[in-house]
Every structure is written in C-alpha cells, then in structure tokens.
Amino acid sequence: MSVKLPVLPQTGYLLKRPLVQGIVFAMAILCYVAAVACAIAAFLYQDAHPGDPVRASLMAAAVFLVACGVVLHIIGTARLKVVLSGSGTIDRD
C-alpha cells in the first residue's frame, strides 16, 4: 500500500492565503504580544498584601493567551484549499 501525498508549493503561501486566514494569523500575533505583556506585568507587579491574586491572574492570562495564539496560528497557516478541494490522492493496492 503506497500513499502519494500532494506536492505543495512551499514558498509564498502565507502571502496567498484567504483574507479570513490572514485576520486569524494577525490575531495569533496579537495574542502572543498580549501574553508577553501579561508576563512582564506579572514579573513587575508588587504584591499589595500576601493574598493578592493579581500576579496569579496575570500569569494565568499569559498561559491562556499563548494557548490561544498557538491554536490561531495553526488555523491561520493551514492549507485549507488543499484540504477542502480533495486534491490529495491515496492509492490502495
């Protein structure tokens, strides 16, 4: 049994993706930037009292934003035209 994968152009795909994928990719970058900002704010924050939950909230927000950024990055760079068109061929012996 042999599987033939489609040959895909590797160069310039990020420039030729649909508008919605471009917007999603930009949102992923925005999530990464916001995560870095939350991490810096958590590092620089001075606790007002020992039970202050602000630092923990900032660190949790940074983790959440990184996870959102990863998911949006994958969606924004996927080759949806190849997947939806069914141009991939599978040979079964």
Rounded Cα distance, 43 and 30, in Å = 20
Give domain limits for the chain: 19-43+52-90
What residues contact residue 49 under an 8 Å CB cut-off, 6+ apart?
none
| Confidence (pLDDT) at 1 | 58
Give pLDDT < 50 ranges for the chain: 91, 93
**How high is the pLDDT of residue 73?**
95
Contact 73, 28 (CB under 8 A): yes
**pTM for this predicted structure:** 0.70
Residue 30: predicted pLDDT: 97
DSSP letters along 2-69, please? -EEPPP---SSGGGSS-HHHHHHHHHHHHHHHHHHHHHHHHHHPPPSSTT--HHHHHHHHHHHHHHHH
Question: Rounded to whole angstroms, what are the CA distances from 18 to 10, 23, 57?
Answer: 16, 9, 35
For residue 59, the model assigns a pLDDT of 95
